[in-house]
Amino acid sequence: MSETQQVEQQRPPGIPGFTRLWTRVSPSLVPVLAVITAFLAGIPLITITVSDNALQPDLAEGLRVSSTAYVALVESITGFTVNDLASSDDFEAIRIYAASNDITTDRSLSRQARPFERIVEVGVEETREYTVFFENYTIDEETMTELAERIPSIRNLGEQRVRDLQPLLTELDVLERSDVRDLAELMTLNETLTDDVVEQAIALYPDFEALSAEDRARTADDLRTIDEYGQVSLVRMGEALTQLDDLGIGLFSDDANRIIGIIGADYGDVEEAIETIAILDDLGITDPADLGSQFRIIGEMYDAEYFDNPSINAILDDELNEQLEQHLVIRRPGNRVLNGTDFGAESFGILQNEQNLEVLFFRLGDRVLLFFPANLEKTIVRAIPFIIAGLAVGLGFKAGLFNIGAEGQLYAGAIAVAAIGAFSSPDIPGLILIPSVILFGIIGGFLWGALPGALKAYTGAHEVITTIMLNFIAILLVDWLIKSVEPVLLGDIDSSVPKTPEIFPSAMLPTFDMINTPILLVFVIAIIAGIAFLINYLPARRDNPQAALRSGIIWAVIMSVVQLVLVLIAVGDQSKLHFGFWLMIAAVWLTDWFLMRTTLGFELRTVGANQNAAKYAGMSVPRNVVLAMALSGALAGLAGAIEISGVEHEMLPRFFAGVGFDAIAVALLARNNPKSMVWAGLLWGGLLSGAGLMQIRADISIDLVKIVQALIIMFVAADQIIRFLWRVPKRTAEEENELVFSTGWGG
């Protein structure tokens, strides 16, 4: 038996198989692993941000806030979340409180919950510390406000320095304020005490003459400090130090910090929090936030007319349990609830959320799985321009060209649509006008992309430079077209803000909520299924008819299901999910087909891989460079056209705000694979659409999403980090070729 076989026998069972599987599968998962790693790397950043002391981060609080942020992000991106159902046990605190207090609906229960929530705003532990502080010291609000304002300034300048300045400030108090100011400015402007400076100082401050040279230098330095901080401010600092001395509070003590904290939290709120927490302590209620939440939930149930008794005490005793059994009361973050009438015994169904949009639910014991279709719809709509613009950048990469001009090409396509859609005739039917505006958008982007391609092919001007410059030209050109007044070009003369007129309704892409009858739905599904079948069956029918038929049927079914889902999530009067989705799918399919199935696509990829080899094979490098940049621009123009025709319906200056630049990141994340561009774009669009909810839920900066995006780009670009962390094998030669994005300056 060989040594290798002996080693194999000694390995634990199962591990070799898993290792081989991971070795085979993991290279294709590198972008996914990069995303996961970026989110994991965000946890320490959140922990440091939410911790009071960055050198000693609060890991438990960081994990809590991170989980809240990421759960909110997932809910906003996908629409799915899991929440608790309210049960009788959730109202124990309010029952204890009600036993000692009569609670009625004479005042809003939300307002009655505010005292308990105020404790949370101030901080439970801080409120207890402030209670002890007020027991030890008697300080009125005015004095405390003055101290809170001066303590940081004294710390900054130095306690002893402030004390040393007080004698001089007392002497200067007899002078005119203007003389003191002139004297201080004189010393600041003159580092050396020349005879002339001394004479000017004596004229303003006669006592300066009697001072020795050493005392004059020290006084001059003190005057410079007075000039920097101000005479009145320094006097008040001295008074604040005297007050602290009288109270026996050290400048850097915890009590001094509590003075600052009390004023920062608002003196009146702190007083109310102290009074309220004393009442709760007497009742044995330790969680004010939970009590406030219970008040609000009961209030929302009352507003939903589950109760009609004005006495909450009676409701808690006699009606609450019965109503919780009859109705779904779903506890949402932020002390909100989602009520469902007569769904207490149902396992699944449809509710109405806070904005009166439909929400699907599925009960999971004492929890419930919720699906908010509007959230997923928002993600898809936001992702469409990123996906198509990512295709534009990826197509350029395939040809070895670094197209940074997708931003300008988006503007070129969008302004063409805005102009045609707004200034054509409203009598033109939509079947003609919609294809026309989309076509003009594509042509606008095509021409704007062809220009740097021609410069690259025939003058050697690098596409990075020319596309960057053309971005600015496009943005400023659109700005001028919209803002021009004499003459008015594309601006809306009736609008108070610079923008184009709204395009005619016949130029707007239809939305999926227009499919409002079963017959129309079946008709649309049949068309989509037929198109999906044909484009997957016809190209391969000669080589392998059975495989082509199977592929056509599978894709017809998949696209039919997708169409059905899109209609279901677009139900509602405010739906923005438009038929640009299918234009995006068509763009993905056509780009993949062009690159992988056509002679021109093969030539384009060959030029991108090796221009010398392409020349040797008889391919025209200049033609392919121009073609690649023009097609890249056409795709970007399509993205701009869809955004105007399907979502905004009007064009504003500097409208896209970085979509074209974000497309570079989407293309990198998708590894230039057109099919993967869909998932990369959905992730990117979802991150941006979900950032707001994450900020609200977790109370963290919205810029965290930008940090996560930057980390994703870094890990995708420097994938050796991911390969090391996740034990992914080294790149193969094929993967190395995929990572050649540009042929560089000499290409």
* pLDDT tens column, 637-659: 999 999 999 998 998 887 777 88
Decide if pLDDT at 445 tops 80.
yes
Per-residue confidence (pLDDT) for residue 218, from 0 to 100: 92
Least Cα distance to 483 among 415, 570, 403, 420 occurs for 415
Q: Is the torsion defined by CA of 199, 201, 206, 210 positive or negative?
A: negative
Averaged over 236-244, what is the pLDDT?
A: 94
Coil vs helix vs strand at 315? helix
Decide if pLDDT at 6 tops 70.
no
For 569-613, give the DSSP string: HT-STT---BTHHHHHHHHHHHHHHHHHHSHHHHHHHHHHH-HHH
CA distance 167 to 176: 17
Q: What is the pTM of this model?
A: 0.81
- Domain boundaries of the chain, sorted by first residue: 43-79+372-511+576-717+737-747, 118-281, 518-565
Least Cα distance to 344 among 321, 368, 361, 328 occurs for 328
Residue length of the chain: 747
Decide if pLDDT at 11 tops 90.
no
Averaged over 357-386, what is the pLDDT?
A: 90
Q: Mean pLDDT lowest for which of 112-126, 187-201, 531-545?
A: 531-545
Give the percent of the chain with pLDDT over 70.
Answer: 94
pLDDT bucket at 698, cuts 50 / 70 / 90: confident
Least Cα distance to 388 among 633, 148, 671 occurs for 633
Least Cα distance to 388 among 684, 22, 706, 119 occurs for 684
Q: What token pair was written down for 744?
A: 């560089």
Coil vs helix vs strand at 363? strand
List, for residues 710-741, the tens digit of each pLDDT value. Answer: 898 888 888 888 888 898 887 766 666 665 55
Place of tokens 């023009």: 630
Per-residue confidence (pLDDT) for residue 739, from 0 to 100: 59
Mark out the alpha helices in 327-405 (DSSP H runs): 373-398
- HSE-CB for 63 with a 13 A CA cutoff: 2
pLDDT bucket at 3, cuts 50 / 70 / 90: very low
The side-by-side arrangement of strands in the sheet containing 328-332 is 336-340, 328-332, 80-85, 367-371, 358-364, 348-352
Residues 6+ apart with CB under 8 A from 58: 47, 50, 51, 52
Q: Is-contact 711 42, C-beta < 8 A?
A: yes
Decide if pLDDT at 12 tops 60.
no
Residues 6+ apart with CB under 8 A from 37: 711, 715, 721, 722, 725, 726
Averaged over 181-194, what is the pLDDT?
A: 90
Decide if pLDDT at 345 tops 80.
no
Residues 6+ apart with CB under 8 A from 718: none
Task: For 562-574, give the secondary structure using H, E and C.
Answer: HHHHHHHHCCCCC
For the range 433-438, what are the long-range contacts, defined as Cβ-Cβ under 8 Å and sequence gap of 24 or more?
433/504, 433/506, 433/507, 434/506, 434/507, 434/508, 434/509, 434/645, 437/503, 437/507, 437/641, 437/645, 438/583, 438/638, 438/641, 438/642, 438/645
Per-residue confidence (pLDDT) for residue 1, from 0 to 100: 46
Per-residue confidence (pLDDT) for residue 734, from 0 to 100: 64
Give the percent of the chain with pLDDT over 90.
Answer: 50
The domain defined by 43-79+372-511+576-717+737-747 folds into ABC transporter involved in vitamin B12 uptake, BtuC (1.10.3470)
- What is the crossing angle of helices 703-717 and 30-50, to 10°? 140
Q: What is the dihedral of CA 120, 124, 129, 131, to 10 degrees?
A: 70
Q: Is-contact 405 716, C-beta < 8 A?
A: no
List, for residues 501-541, the tens digit of each pLDDT value. Answer: 999 999 999 999 888 888 999 999 999 999 999 988 887 77
Q: Mean pLDDT lowest for which of 3-7, 628-632, 665-669?
A: 3-7
Nearest 5°: the CA angle 294, 299, 300 is 100
Q: What are phi and psi of 349, to 5 degrees?
A: 170, -165
Secondary element (H or E) of residue 81: strand 80-85
List, for residues 248-307, the tens digit of each pLDDT value. Answer: 999 999 999 999 999 999 999 999 999 999 999 999 999 998 999 899 889 888 888 888
pLDDT bucket at 106, cuts 50 / 70 / 90: confident
Q: Is-contact 414 441, C-beta < 8 A?
A: yes
Residue 558 one-letter amino acid: I
pLDDT bucket at 745, cuts 50 / 70 / 90: very low
List, for residues 152-161, the tens digit of each pLDDT value. Answer: 999 999 999 9
pLDDT bucket at 208, cuts 50 / 70 / 90: confident
Q: Is-contact 639 413, C-beta < 8 A?
A: yes
Q: What are 80's strand-pairing partners?
A: 371
Mark out the alpha helices in 338-429 (DSSP H runs): 373-398, 406-423
